[in-house]
Structure 1
Amino acid sequence: MLRHIEITECPRDAMQGWHRPIDTSEKVNYLKALLKVGFHSLDCGSFVSPKAIPQMADTATVLSEISAETGTNKLLVIVANERGGEQAVLQDKVTYLGFPFSISPTFQQLNTNSTIEESWQRVQRIYKLCRLHNKQLVVYISMAFGNPYGDEYNAEIVYNWVNKMKELGVNTISLADTVGLSTPEQVFDITKKVIDNSPGVNIGVHLHSTPQMALAKIEAAYNAGCNKFDSAIGGIGGCPMAQNDLVGNIDTSTLLYFFQDKQVQLEIDTEAYRNAQAIAASIFY
């Protein structure tokens, strides 16, 4: 089937809230293995406060160890403010800076210690930094399918913020189900409307899900026209700032199974993938 699919593997999301410190050498070994699999890109680290996310404090060191082996893979790092952006744009091998923009005021304060308006100002400044340094900004519309805090939520809020990002010039936007609240019907309806109204913009989904609901959510996004998916081996992950009971990422194996069933061709090295799975099992125990 002639449909180009981009998969972003998210070891950063898997590692950031893990219950034990993961050694730098373990991260480097794992990322080197993932770089051989054939993913479109790796969400591999973040430049945020080490007090907030201590697991990611060594991102610059990790990048220096893997940068010679990136090949055709593109690297993405998360930033939460201009200071993080200034650090990230100096990384030669990094293509994408990702900014988590929550449409839930409560979660934006928890996650980036800023109001939505302050975060919008940060997005504008980081976008300018990216333009100056030949990087691309990816904005994650966090809590795009609802929030657990009782904050006002409706689809129009999602569309309004997507439109503001597009007007700024952001051409990669990911709809994020940060705590796994979405239904397949929501994923389809919102993703389809965003895609239909965003010609020339790469719209992706960053879904969290229980294993039981994962395939239905993937299919909903795919049927809505989405060609860009985030996942993590083992379905591990979740934002430690969100709530105590983290709902993991879509498991990469579930995603690969779905596309195999749809006869969508992916350039995935299965042996390299199995090796990366084995390394993941040695880290996430």
Structure 2
Amino acid sequence: MKLIECPRDAMQGWTEFIPTETKTEYLNALLRVGFDTLDFGSFVSPKAIPQLRDTAEVLAGLDLSSTRTKLLAIVANLRGAETALGYSEIQYIGFPLSVSETFQQRNTNKSIAEALTEVADMQNRCEQGGKTLVVYLSMGFGNPYGDPWNPAVLGEFTEKLAALGVRVVALSDTIGASTPETIIPPFRELIPAFPNIEFGAHLHTTPTTWREKVDAAFEAGCRRFDGALGGIGGCPMAADQLTGNMATENLVTYLEAAGVPTGLHMEAFREAQRLSQRVFVGH
């Protein structure tokens, strides 16, 4: 079981700029919890995501001396990937590849075909640089634009990624549209069909639908889940009203009830929860 904590996703749409020292303090608290991976920042245009313009400064202040947690940075193009590749502290580079043509243009200002060409280049550079590329299939459970979606479409995208050598693919519910009926089929079909790929679930949700979504993905075989403390965040490029991230505390509650060990340091977890209130309510 892998839990990926995503403060980057929680912060990116926050209107008020969170000071660099506050971000750093919060991320250091999360590093003490023992998550598998911390999605800590992104190397994108500050015009697009002004909240994360200080990712390099935040990275410089992280205490990685006594954590097992790996770092993941999101990029929107090859230039961002090249920047991320220059940091030895970063193990994972994440790229959002949309199954919706409209959203790919809206999110990264390129077509799906152009994005796939960049993914191929990123994958080669990650292999050469000793890093792992994580591809998020965004709008993976539907979109508001009328673009085609179904499990077969996800399969076609995954087949292309597998041919490139991509080893981690996260099916992503960018707008909170997923239901158990749409979550179960793709995970159930893709996991056995692509044994060399680790599939993750990046599910945005409302506070009342989280359990059914987690349960569906878990029962379908997913063992990699993204979350954010407090369920804060979402995708600012997707809609005017943000649907929150999967709340990490709900994931932990679910796994504990299922008898699945999380390996988290719970005292540090509770301290990070307290700190998150200060980060997102007032600093």
Q: TM-score range by the shorter chain?
A: over 0.9
Q: Distance in 2 between matches of 1:82 and 1:190?
A: 28
Confirm or deny: 8 A CA contact 2:101 2:147 kept in the other structure: yes
- Post-superposition offset of 1:70: 5.9
Tell me the distance in 2 between the aligned counterparts of 1:185 and 1:219.
11
- Where in structure 2 are the equivalents of 1:130-149 lying within 5 Å? 130-149=126-145
Q: Distance in 1 between matches of 2:65 and 2:214?
A: 30
Residue in structure 2 matched with residue 164 of structure 1 by the alignment: 160
TM value normalised by structure 1 = 0.97
Aligned with 1:253 (options 223, 241, 249)? 249
| Distance 1:20-1:69 versus aligned 2 partners, 3 A rule | farther
**In structure 2, C-alpha distance between the alignment counterparts of 1:211 and 1:191, rounded to whole Å:** 23
2:192 pairs with 1:189: no
State the identity as a percent.
Answer: 47
> What is the CA distance between 1:124 and its match in structure 2?
0.8
Report the counterpart of residue 218 of structure 1 in structure 2: 214
- Unaligned runs of 5+ residues in structure 1 are none
The CA distance in 1 between the partners of 2:66 and 2:111, in whole Å, is 36
Alignment of 1:269-280 (within 5 A): 269-280=265-276
Spell out the pairing of 1:57-96 with structure 2 (5 A cutoff).
57-69=53-65, 71-96=67-92
Q: 2:225 aligns with which of 224, 229, 248?
A: 229
What number of residue pairs does the alignment pair up?
A: 281
Give the drift of 1:59: 0.6
How many angstroms apart in 2 are the aligned matches of 1:39 and 1:71? 9
Cα distance in 2 between the residues matched to 1:51 and 1:19: 13
**Whole-angstrom distance in 2 between the partners of 1:204 and 1:133:** 23
CA contact (8 A) 2:34 2:67 kept: no
User: 1:238 & 1:109 partners in 2: Cα distance?
Assistant: 18
| Separation in 2, partners of 1:284, 1:204 | 26
Query: SS state of the match for residue 42, structure 1?
Result: strand
Alignment TM-score, normalising by the size of structure 2: 0.97
| Residue matched to 2:258 | 262
> How many Å apart are 1:156 and its aligned residue?
1.3
Are 1:238 and 2:207 an aligned pair?
Answer: no
Aligned residue among 106, 109, 115 for 1:113: 109
Measure how far apart 1:68 and its partner are: 3.5
After superposition, the Cα gap between the structure-2 partners of 1:191 and 1:241, relative to the gap in structure 1 and judged at 3 Å, is same
- 8 Å CA contact 1:67, 1:93 repeated in 2: no
Q: What 5-or-longer segments of structure 2 have no aligned partner? A: none
State yes or no: 1:208 paired with 2:187.
no
